[in-house]
Structure formats: C-alpha cells, structure tokens
C-alpha cells in the first residue's frame, strides 16, 4: 500500500484514538530501524544521529539506543536546543543517555568499521522549503556522505523531500537508504525522487497495519514480506521435470557472454532443465564456456525451437538482429510463456503487430533505451504513465528496468521493486534478470509474479555481494549476482527488508 502524507497522518490519529500510545509506535519504529541498519551493516561501527525536535527525531533516538546495546558508537547531533524538543523526544534522549551513557562518547574507528548517519530531522508533518537550523543539518549530512563515506539512512523521508510530490529542496538529504515507517509515501516513488531516496525499505508497524483500510491501490511496493509466498517450499519428492524446462535463445558472435549469463542465472534460480539454443558458428565457444548443468543445442533456424518441449522460453540476450524473421516468428507463435529481452525487444520495436497477436503470454524486460524504441513517448513521460499506457495497449507484462524497477500488467497493480544498488549499473545484469525470471516462470509463477520476484532477488543478491561480501559498488559484476542468488532466496523467506 502506498499512502499520501495526509492518509498516513489519519492512520496514526486513528491508532492514537484507539488508545495506542505514541511511545509504543515510536519504540516499534525504532526497533525496526535498528534491525534494518544491522541487516546492511552486521558489524558494529559508528552511528551519527542527526535529529529534530519532533517524533521523527524520537524514532532515531530509539534506534540509536538499540544499536548502542549492540556495540555501536553513537554520536548525537541535535538540530535544536533541548528546550524545543517534544516531551517524548526528550524522554527518548534521556533513555539513550541513561541506558548506555558510554556509548555516546566519540571514539576513533578502525578503518573497516562502518560510519552511518540516521536522518531524523523532519517527518511527514514538515512542508515548504527547508529553514535553519535544519538546512544546515541537512548540508552536514550530505557532507558526511560525500567526504567521509558515510551511509545515510533517512527515516520515513529524506529531509527536504516533499512526501507527496517527491519534489526536492536544493539542500535535500541524499540518502543511501530510506526507511518508510508503516507504509511507503507517494513522493518516495516519484521518478525525480529516486536519487535522494536510494534503497527503499518499508517498515510495517503492527498497530498501523491492523487499522489500514483494505486498499484498491493503483500501485504497490514489492517487499519480501509481501512476495515471499510466491516462492513456495519444495516437496520432498520433487523432480527436475517439475521445476521447469526452460529454453533459452541467446548469443551471437561477439556476444556469447550474454547467453552464458542468462543460462547460468536460470540454473541458480531453480530451473529444473535448461537448454541453450545457439547457431552452429558459436556452438564450440559456448559449449566450452557454459556451466555443465546447461545443455547446449545447435539450430539451423530458431523456428526449430517451436517444436521443442519447454515450459517457458527466454529470447534475446546477445542475439543480434541477423535472423529477424525467425526471432519474430518465434515470439509470435510459441505457446509457452516467454521472457523477451535485449535484441528481441529491438526487433519487436520494428514490428509491434507481432506483440499484439502473440499465441502465449509475454514478459518484456526493457531498459529505458529499449523502452524508448518500443514506445518513443516514454522518453518524456513519467515511468508510471509509460507502463500504464503500454500495458493498456498490448497484452503483455512489462518490467521496466531502472533504479526503481517497475512491473505492470493489464488488470494488476503496478509494482515497484525496492532492492538493488548502483553497482548494478554494469553490463550483464539484464541477462541475469532474464534468466532468473525464466526460471521462476518455469516453476509455475505467472509472469507478473516472476517479474516482481526476479527483480527483488537480483537486487538483493547485488546488495549481499556488496554489504556482506567482498565487492564494492565499483567492482560488482553480473557473475557476483548469480553467486548470491541462493542467499537472496534465503533472505526472501526470512522476510528481510
């Protein structure tokens, strides 16, 4: 569920009117915040708490107290003098000082220890341009991020971001993570807000969730707790034929890496049998490089794939455009669900009539450039409008890649992905996503669900490689994502953020 700020305030007021105390909500929010911090930074470091006078600041202080109990060093940076603090915020400050006073002392950190900042300056009640002293505090947070490699966690909203429109003040805090309390706020999902919001996590509060009205929302946010059930546990007698026979049509001279990544991601995402179809001229190189679990078959024409027995097909990565008619015929005639990516999308852009009359269901996975070829108007429209218009015109599921991947299908709520990091801005990530989506579809998921789950798993695998592995955002590669897919599946079932 995605709420406006007014809807969120009304929900909080309803809980308070029912006798739920503000302190109870604050303690729950603070506990969730601390847990998310520890998910991404499992080893204690230094936490700088920039907090305002209201309850957003109180949430930050509760989280800091809980982090201090886990060995984190806490530095407090109030934006206002204590006389201005709300009574509850002042109480949470005293509890932090009294429970672990030594934790607030500044200490020299080892080079390997993390530095994080909690942005608890303003909540959803703020509006208008930033004013002093909050503006100066926001600038300091951005300085810590730019000059001292601090990782910024914004609580509910980055300070300076308007909660409904996503408009940003000139000194808006640039967050690496935004922890939406209770529900995602509409402004967090605006296209222009993404660079300030960073990785989005939604922290449900039990008392608010219980009072939220059933929503026929036009949009939704894919979180682990919402989509984990899409990946059911396997029964003990399961065999490979039940896990999906996936056929992949990919690769061409100079682009065999795309085929290899797609097929190997498919294997590691749970497909039972994976067959990669290539033309004779590249077969020797592909066969020598591919994982032994993948079957590699040569075809004189891609039309031959129509006669093969598969539960799902994936077409396009590294394919080239030299066999356009064969590829378009395969896309149009294959009765199975199909993931269509890369060069196959570029061919569809020249023949949109094929997409309008496909025999089986299709999932299209374009990046913004490919989307602009499929729909030139998308270059100047908001992403939400693009997916709504495209899925209204074509009977296909659309996964529009980006820092906030968006999945849409006619008759289903558009769904925003939450996982991932900037390290994914490198070649091969789309090929991995295609393979993962194909594997999930082969295991029986509808394409809409395979797309939502596939995007979440790939993003989470990238996060694991950086935050708990040896990689940095600069060194992250598509092969690292494949290697972390198993751990991402475990995280999904554990309900992580």
Instruction: Enumerate residues 6+ apart whose C-beta is below 8 A from 212.
Output: 1, 11, 183
How many Å from the N-terminal Cα to the C-terminal Cα in the chain?
16
d(Cα 431, Cα 269) in Å, to the nearest integer? 13
Q: Which residue's entry shows tokens 């300076």?
A: 160
β-strand pairing of 2-3 with 312-315: unpaired
- Other CB atoms closer than 10 Å to residue 140's CB: what's the count? 16
Phi, psi values for residue 270, rounded to 5°: 105, 5
Q: What pLDDT, on the 0 to 100 scale, is given for residue 41? A: 95
pTM of the complete model: 0.95
Domains and CATH numbers, the chain: 2-217 (3.40.50.10260), 229-494 (3.40.1190.20)
Alpha helix locations (H) across 149-237?
194-197, 206-211, 224-227
pLDDT (0 to 100) of residue 99: 80
- Which pLDDT does position 106 carry in this prediction? 41
DSSP state, residue 171: T
pLDDT in tens, the chain (497 residues): 899 999 999 999 999 999 999 999 999 999 999 999 999 999 999 999 999 999 999 999 999 999 999 999 999 999 999 999 999 999 999 999 988 645 444 444 455 589 999 999 999 988 889 999 999 999 999 999 999 999 999 999 999 999 999 999 999 999 999 999 999 999 999 999 999 999 999 999 999 988 887 654 567 999 999 999 999 899 999 999 999 999 999 999 999 999 999 999 999 999 999 999 999 999 999 999 999 999 999 999 999 999 999 999 999 999 998 999 999 999 999 999 999 999 999 999 999 999 999 999 999 999 999 999 999 999 999 999 999 999 999 999 999 999 999 999 999 999 999 999 999 999 999 999 999 999 999 999 999 999 999 999 999 999 999 998 899 999 999 999 999 999 999 999 999 88
Tokens of 434: 């295609």
C-alpha 133/C-alpha 139 separation (Å) is 10
């Amino acid at each position: 569920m995605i709420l406006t700020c007014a809807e969120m305030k009304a929900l909080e007021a309803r809980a308070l009117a029912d006798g739920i105390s503000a302190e109870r909500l604050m303690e729950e929010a603070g506990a969730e915040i601390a847990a998310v911090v520890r998910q991404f930074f499992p080893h204690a470091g230094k936490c700088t708490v920039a907090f305002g006078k209201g309850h957003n600041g109180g949430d930050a202080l509760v989280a800091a107290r809980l982090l201090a109990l886990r060995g984190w060093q806490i530095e407090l940076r109030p934006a206002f003098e204590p006389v201005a603090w709300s009574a509850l915020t002042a109480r949470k400050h005293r509890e932090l000082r009294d429970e672990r006073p030594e934790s607030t002392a500044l200490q020299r950190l080892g080079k390997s220890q993390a530095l994080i900042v909690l942005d608890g300056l303003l909540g959803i009640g703020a509006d208008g341009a930033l004013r002093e002293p909050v503006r100066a505090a926001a600038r300091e947070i951005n300085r810590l991020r730019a000059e001292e490699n601090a990782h910024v966690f914004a609580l509910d909203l980055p300070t300076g971001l308007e909660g409904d429109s996503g408009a940003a003040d000139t000194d808006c805090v640039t967050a690496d993570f935004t922890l939406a309390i209770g529900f995602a706020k509409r402004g967090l999902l605006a296209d222009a807000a993404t660079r300030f919001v960073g990785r989005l996590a939604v922290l449900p509060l039990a008392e608010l969730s219980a009072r939220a009205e059933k929503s026929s929302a036009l949009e939704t946010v894919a979180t682990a707790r919402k989509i984990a059930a899409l990946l059911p546990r396997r029964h003990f007698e399961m065999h490979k034929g039940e896990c999906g026979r996936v056929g992949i049509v990919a690769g061409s001279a100079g682009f065999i890496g795309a085929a290899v990544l797609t097929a190997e991601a498919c294997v590691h995402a749970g497909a039972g049998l994976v067959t990669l179809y290539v033309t004779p001229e590249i077969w020797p190189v592909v066969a020598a490089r591919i994982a032994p679990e993948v079957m590699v078959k040569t075809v004189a024409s891609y039309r031959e794939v129509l006669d093969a027995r598969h539960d799902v097909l994936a077409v396009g990565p590294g394919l080239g455009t030299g066999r356009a008619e064969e590829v378009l015929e395969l896309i149009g005639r294959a009765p199975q669900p199909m993931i269509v990516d890369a060069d196959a999308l570029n061919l569809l852009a020249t023949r949109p009539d094929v997409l309008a009359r496909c025999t089986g269901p299709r999932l299209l996975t374009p990046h913004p450039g490919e989307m602009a070829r499929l729909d030139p108007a998308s270059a100047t429209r908001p992403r939400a409008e693009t997916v709504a218009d495209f899925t209204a015109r074509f009977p296909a599921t659309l996964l529009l890649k980006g820092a906030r991947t968006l999945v849409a299908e006619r008759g289903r709520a558009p769904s925003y992905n939450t996982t991932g990091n900037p390290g994914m801005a490198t070649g091969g990530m789309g090929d991995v996503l295609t393979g993962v989506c194909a594997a999930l579809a082969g295991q029986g998921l509808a394409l809409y669900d395979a797309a939502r789950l596939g995007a979440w798993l790939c993003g989470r695998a990238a996060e694991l490689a950086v935050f708990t592995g040896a990689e940095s955002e600069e060194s992250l590669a598509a092969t690292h994502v494949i290697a972390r897919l198993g751990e991402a599946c475990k995280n999904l079932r554990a309900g992580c953020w």
